[in-house]
Amino acid sequence: MPVVTYDNTDIPVDDEGFFTEPARWTEPMAEQVAKEAGIDTLTERHWIVIRFMRAQYAAKGTGPTVRVLGKTSGVSVKELYQLFPKGPAKTAAKIAGIPKPRGCI
């Protein structure tokens, strides 16, 4: 399993770079992951989504899809795409240090 270094800590990730152990995530790591995903600064609006992703993961064991995020996070789908241009659910999950959201079929 690949290991990357964020915030001077070795973090195991999956092949696509998603955290496999969400408990090891810290807020400073989010900034670094975001930069790698092409997002230079995390604004308060980004943080609303990141915290929401973590809370949902803790409650349900998987991160929400974009549609569910749009309905429940207080940030519309349109704005989610502005904040996280390439696939908001996946990008936000990566920055929030949780595994890739399981989509539905």
**Which of 7, 77, 95, 96 touches another protein by CB under 8 A?**
77
Work out whether 35 is an interface residue with another protein (CB under 8 A).
Answer: no
Task: Decide: helix, strand or coil at residue 9.
Answer: strand
Work out whether 105 is an interface residue with another protein (CB under 8 A).
Answer: yes
Among residues 1, 23, 59, 104, which one is catalytic? 104
Angle 67-70-71 (CA atoms, 0-180°, nearest 5)? 90
Burial class (CB in 10 A: 0-12, 13-18, 19+), 16: exposed
66 is catalytic: no
Name the residues that contact another protein, by CB under 8 A: 64-68, 71-72, 77-78, 80-81, 85-87, 102-105
